[in-house]
């Protein structure tokens, strides 16, 4: 047991560089959430009323993602 050969369980050097920048969240293109994001990205944006009408969601459901985005600092 006195040999200096590396153990098969020895830690290895990392092969990937980890970025300090946060990963960009992706939204599937065929969801209502993606539709809402697209409406919000328009130059004129979108109102809660427009989003409610376009999605069929209740106003509190439309506002929910905004609260989540602010909580997670996505804004």
Asked, for residue 63, whether it belongs to a domain, the answer is yes
Q: How many domains does the chain have?
A: 1
Question: How many other CB atoms are there within 10 angstroms of residue 62's CB atom?
Answer: 21
8 Å CB contact between 75 and 69: yes
Asked, for residue 12, whether it belongs to a domain, the answer is no
**What is the domain extent for residue 54?**
48-75
Closest C-alpha among 17, 30, 27, 16 to residue 65: 27
Asked, for residue 26, whether it belongs to a domain, the answer is no
Asked, for residue 11, whether it belongs to a domain, the answer is no
At 13-72, the pLDDT tens digits run 555 555 555 555 565 668 888 888 888 889 999 999 999 999 899 999 988 877 777 777
What tokens were used for 75? 């804004």
Asked, for residue 1, whether it belongs to a domain, the answer is no
What tokens were used for 38? 């697209």
Asked, for residue 64, whether it belongs to a domain, the answer is yes
Asked, for residue 6, whether it belongs to a domain, the answer is no
Question: H or E stretch including 54?
Answer: helix 48-55
pTM of the model: 0.53
Asked, for residue 53, whether it belongs to a domain, the answer is yes
């Amino acid at each position: 047991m006195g040999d200096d050969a590396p153990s098969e369980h020895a830690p290895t050097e990392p092969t990937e560089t980890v970025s300090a920048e946060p990963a960009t969240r992706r939204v599937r293109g065929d969801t209502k959430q993606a539709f809402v994001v697209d409406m919000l990205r328009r130059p004129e944006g979108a109102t809660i009323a427009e989003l409610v009408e376009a999605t069929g969601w209740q106003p509190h459901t439309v506002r929910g993602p905004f609260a989540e985005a602010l909580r997670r600092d996505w804004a």
